[in-house]
Amino acid sequence: MDTEKKTKVNFLVKEIGKGNDGAFEELYKLIYKELFYFLRKYTYDIEDIKDVIENTFMIVIEKSKDLLFYQNCYSWIYKIAKYQMFNVNRKIKPEVKLDNINIALLGTVDTFSNISLSFIIDAFPKDLKLIFYLRYNNNYTIKEIAKMTKFSMSTIKRRISELNTLLKEHFNEKEDC
């Protein structure tokens, strides 16, 4: 980030604080794309990213009057966005329904429909959780997941197979009880 852009962001935030509506539009155009890619490292859910950016700009509008003498508005905006994303990630625990998952190994899906899997998935290792959510919640292909995670396609396939096995074992244990 160059100093000229940071200076421009500081100026625009101060102008927003003074009530200049044109400054808001200019700030939005100036940092929206950059902010979007910054937030991508925290989630792959585009709707969550858009919501966080919207909330961030709302906070900028609300608090900009208090920042007329603040010198580092650029960093302040990024901190707001980051903490807003943390709040979203903390609050949202995706409820995954088994009937939305296409796992042939599980047998009759109707038997288990409307069962929340979040407690099972929480026990998975971090990389398995990520692959699970990308594959079954966000419907990414194996190739797309491999690109995002930097794993090879064969590794992703193997990890999905592990997921299927873990889920099958869990539900077989439940049937035995």
Considering the chain, what percentage of its residues have pLDDT values greater than 90? 1
HEC readout, 54-103: HHHHHHHHHHHHHHCCCCCHHHHHHHHHHHHHHHHHHHCCCCCEHHHCCC
Identify the pLDDT of residue 65: 76
Q: Domain boundary residue among 91, 112, 138?
A: 91
**For residue 116, which phi and psi values (nearest 5 degrees)?**
-75, 130
Q: Residue 115 pLDDT more than 70?
A: no
Q: Domain boundary residue among 75, 91, 107?
A: 91
Identify the pLDDT of residue 8: 87
Residues 79 and 119 in one domain: no
Write out pLDDT tens, residues 7-28: 888 888 888 888 888 888 898 8
Contact 30, 9 (CB under 8 A): yes
Residues 103 and 151 in one domain: yes
Identify the pLDDT of residue 103: 39
Residues 87 and 129 in one domain: no
Residues 85 and 9 in one domain: yes
Residues 103 and 87 in one domain: no
pLDDT grade for 113, boundaries at 50, 70 and 90: very low
**Mean of pLDDT values over 149-174:** 81
Tokens standing for residue 141: 């292909």
Cα distance between residue 144 and residue 111, in whole Å? 31
18/93: higher pLDDT: 18
Identify the pLDDT of residue 19: 82
Contact 167, 103 (CB under 8 A): yes
Tokens standing for residue 129: 């959780």
Residues 75 and 12 in one domain: yes
**Mean of pLDDT values over 128-141:** 80
Residues 27 and 67 in one domain: yes
pLDDT grade for 174, boundaries at 50, 70 and 90: low
**Total domains, the chain:** 2
- Give the pTM: 0.50
Range of the domain at 19: 3-91
**Mean of pLDDT values over 112-127:** 62
**Mean of pLDDT values over 83-95:** 69
Cα distance between residue 107 and residue 115, in whole Å? 15
Q: What is the mean pLDDT of the chain?
A: 75
